[in-house]
């Protein structure tokens, strides 16, 4: 069997941070790649996640440069969920 690669774009409305990365990232769209491999012992096709990669700006001063970072899927999902639940800041009366 052949492995699987999925690409998705996550949108963050607010700045966010991820465990193991020493700086926060700006709100915006971030591309993710998830690599999976088949579990061949089963009679039906099922895949195991091998890596989740996120494309991040390498340097705040160089927005065109990127780095690809292997991230913890649960941490990324939690950061995105917090972002989606967050209320927009209130404007002063």
Cα→Cα distances 45→35, 36, 52, 73, Å? 15, 12, 20, 22
- 11 has which bridge partners? 29
3-state secondary structure of 43: coil
Successive 10-residue mean pLDDT values, the chain, 93 residues: 85 92 89 90 80 84 80 92 83 62
pLDDT confidence of residue 63: 64
Cα→Cα distances 77→8, 63, 90, Å? 13, 24, 26
Q: Whole-prediction pTM value?
A: 0.76
């Amino acid at each position: 069997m052949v492995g699987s690669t999925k690409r998705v774009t996550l949108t963050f409305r607010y700045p966010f941070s991820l465990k193991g990365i020493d700086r926060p990232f700006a709100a915006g769209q971030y591309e993710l790649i998830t690599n999976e491999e088949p579990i061949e012992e089963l009679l039906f096709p099922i895949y195991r996640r091998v890596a989740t990669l996120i494309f991040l700006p390498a340097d705040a001063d160089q927005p065109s440069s990127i780095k690809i970072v292997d991230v913890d899927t649960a941490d990324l999902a939690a950061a995105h969920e917090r972002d989606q639940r967050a209320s927009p800041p209130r404007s002063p009366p």
